[in-house]
Amino acid sequence: MANIIDGKAISAAIRAEIKESTEAFAKEYGFRPGLAVIIVGEDPASQVYVRNKRRACEEVGFYSEAYELPAETTQEELNALVDKLNASDKIHGILCQLPLPKHLDENEVIMRIDPKKDVDAFHPTNVGKIMIGDYSFLPCTPAGVMALLERSGIEISGKECVVVGRSNIVGKPQAMLLLHSHGTVTVCHSRTKNLAEVCRRADILVAAIGKADFFTADMIKEGAVVIDVGMNRRADGKLTGDVDFESVAPKASYITPVPGGVGPMTITMLMQNTLTAAKQSV
Ligand code: GUN
């Protein structure tokens, strides 16, 4: 049976470290790191994320502002808010929760956020920096995965790493971070041929395709490290990952559960990025 990587415990440990650094920062500079979170419309999942982000800010001692805008907000109104937050001395990180309602242009918002306050690391400036290995902000979910691996003592150098999923938020930056840690990286996606065969090569498998319980034991090498980025709702309302935990866990050496694996790490990495942004502002 695999070691279960406890994302909640690792996340709590990192938040405690961030809180300590925040207190030292506030003492030295007389202000606290500030995060602004923007949400447009009434998507219930997004509302939960935003509430959790606000709570996390309180926990680590940040200043925070939350903007819950109506679904019919115009691009001009959203742009004006981003401009205001870009100019605010109290705000060091800006996060606009995606997806946005269809009439709004996500790219325009991503491009408008000052790269120095882009704690999602979605702006092309920060994406480009990640590509060349010179980064101040790491995208939150892949950074959370790296922290889980590191704090579990899992070596990446020289390992076969297979990332399944190629989104801008997870798959692509994840591949880059593993590459920077000297993994041999393969990225798979919906058109990959012989997916099971490629997955069976993985010493470290990162599953990020958004399909409930898709990865089964036959796709996993004996002793592999299995990281599940999936967050899917089953018909019965239960939260489940991309990995069929019950069949895969006995075969893996390490595995992340859902919930309680990668999920709690994402917001913690956002806090880390906000602290970094505040430090870089002084
Ligand atoms: N929606 C789902 N994940 C994310 C994220 O990491 N950042 C933002 N801004 N929106 C999201």
Ligand 1 geometric centre to CA of 98 (Å) = 5
| 118 catalytically annotated | no
Residue from 50, 104, 107, 120 whose mutation best tests the ligand 1 pocket (most atoms within 8 A of CB): 120
- Residue 42: pLDDT band by 50, 70, 90 thresholds? confident
Whether 27 is a known active-site residue: answer no
pLDDT, one tens digit per residue, over 168-218 is 999 999 999 999 999 999 999 999 999 999 999 999 999 999 999 999 999
pLDDT of residue 198: 98
Identify the pLDDT of residue 211: 96
Q: Which atom of ligand 1 is nearest to the CA of 139?
A: 6
**Percent with pLDDT over 70 in the chain:** 100
Question: Which residue's CA lies nearest to atom 2 of ligand 1?
Answer: 98
State whether the beta carbon of 96 lies less than 6 angstroms from ligand 1. Answer: yes
Distance of CA 138 to the CA centre of its chain: 9
Distance 202 CA to ligand 1 centre (A): 27
The CB density around residue 257, as the number of other CB atoms within 10 Å, is 18
Q: Which of 50-54, 63-67, 139-143, 185-189 has the lowest mean pLDDT?
A: 50-54
Active site residue 116: no
Q: What token pair was written down for 164?
A: 């399944």
Residue type, 201: R
d(CA 244, CA 52) in angstroms, rounded, equals 27
In angstroms, the CA 255 to CA 12 distance is 19
Residue 150 scores a pLDDT above 90: yes
**Maximum CA pair distance of the chain?**
57
- Nearest Cα to Cα of residue 88 among 108, 45, 117, 120: 117
Question: In the predicted model, what is the mean pLDDT of residues 152-163?
Answer: 98
At 103-121, the pLDDT tens digits run 999 999 999 999 999 999 9
**How would you class 27 by CB atoms within 10 Å of its CB: exposed for 0-12, middle for 13-18, buried for 19 or more?**
exposed
pLDDT of residue 47: 82
**Predicted pLDDT of residue 199:** 98
Six token digits for residue 78 = 């959203």
Please compute the mean of the pLDDT values over residues 97-106 and round it to a whole number.
95
Band of pLDDT at residue 282, cut at 50, 70 and 90? very high
- Average the pLDDT over 80-107 and give the result: 97
- CA 186, CA 200: separation in Å to the nearest integer? 12
Taking the C-alpha atoms of residue 129 and residue 134, their distance in angstroms, rounded to an integer, is: 5
SS3 100: coil
Which amino acid residue places its CA nearest to atom 11 of ligand 1? 98
Measured in Å, residue 218 CA sits from the centre of ligand 1 at 32
Report pLDDT for 54.
93
Active-site residue identified among 6, 116, 118, 120: 120
Give the distance, in angstroms, between the CA of residue 222 and the centroid of all CA atoms in the same chain. Answer: 27
- Predicted confidence (pLDDT) at residue 75 exceeds the cutoff of 90: yes
Reply yes or no on whether the pLDDT at 154 is more than 90.
yes
**What would the mean pLDDT of 9-17 be, rounded to a whole number?**
98
- Predicted model pTM: 0.96
pLDDT reported for residue 10 = 98
36 alpha carbon – ligand 1 mean position (Å): 13
What is the residue-averaged pLDDT of the chain? 96
| pLDDT above 90 coverage of the chain, percent | 92
CB of 127 shorter than 6 A to ligand 1: no
